[in-house]
Structure 1
Amino acid sequence: MKIKNEFENQISDSRRLAFFLSLAGGFQDAYSYICRGNVFANAQTGNIVLLSGHLISGQFIKAIHYIFPILAFLSGIYLTEWIQYLYKKNRILHWRQIILFFEIVAMVFVGCLPSSMNVLANIILSFSCAMQVSSFKKFRGITFATTMCIGNMRNATEFLAQYHIYSQKESIYKSLHYYGAIAIFSLGSSLGFIFSKLLGLISIWIAALFLFIGFILMLIKE
């Protein structure tokens, strides 16, 4: 119980942290698509569709570009569970801070990779994204994703409908949170599009900066 109390007031579920994680999530998707061969680092649904299309068309070499990020995404979720298990009682850093630190290092490394190594870059980005989505699931009691939008869109609209049907103030509060998360993700994607065009491969370092700010925020006690 003592170790739990050391982190109970941590900012790991705050809106400020969610803001920077969502910016990074949107940025990564735009970056991987524009700079790394039209592959989505976060949206694995799109990768599965493209993988299936290339397999059906007999374009097996192109299919490889999509199967590796999918496998990396699954591996990232699996490893995150182990990190949580092994470091949940760590007295120095919260296990989620370890995840963020790994993501930052991964993105800095990806920015150093040439375009000839896009497959490796997408593997690392998908792995990193999976760790984020698996680690940061809830902010201020509201569950939402910082690396994708489809679940947030569904929840936002469901709560909006519930507000209109039942006039529940809590429902509109939650709905606005989800729509806000979508807007921030979209802002991150827009920044990713702009800076990917301007800076090229190293633009992913901007997403790393967003995560670094999140890492610093997690050192603050609320």
Structure 2
Amino acid sequence: MSDYLQLVQTYFPYVAKGASITIQLTIVALLGSVALGLLTTFAKLANLRLLRIVASIYIELIRATPALLQLFIIYFGLTSFGLRLDPFTAASITLSLVGGAYAAEIFRAGIEAVDTGQFEAARSLGMSTPLAMRRIILPQAAVIVLPPFTNFVISMIKDTSLALTISVPEIMYRSYDASSQSYRSMAIYSMAAVLYLAICLPLSGFAKALEKRRASR
């Protein structure tokens, strides 16, 4: 027992420092995902067929290929064109691209779930399409998509672990490094699990509460 406590005292602070990188990476990737997701959603719902095709290709391309492959293409593959990104930037871009495709489907489903009569009523009052979307449709859609979007955030936090493959010093990278030094894999990775649980469980509870509240209405 004392040996385990010594291990925790020695390595837990080191592994825990990766949590700040995990959170930073998640925040940056989420901002990119939301921006790309909204643009892709509006393109999917646009009257212009070309925009719908481009948006569909982007979504299907991202969803049909592994995120790890996309990360390697951006970090290693782009060097063939003289573009060398630092690990954090490459991971942020990759997670933003991946998240944008999935966020677009969440946003689109939320917008389409709003009664079409709401939009027609807004148009009959003289609102332009962008104004009706901003003032009437999007606020209602935001309430609808909040539970699935919270689950999406949890998935994004877990997906940041992919960044260890390009040496971003987040939780998993530091856990792997500490495990290599201590030869105590179970104990070290248990520490990583505690950190992920501490970050994700509150969000998971929040998502479940939102789903129950929505179901009770």
User: What is the TM-score of this pair, normalised by structure 2?
Assistant: 0.30
* Higher Rg: 2
> Is the helix fraction higher in 1 or 2?
2
More RCO (CA 8 Å, sep 6+)? 1
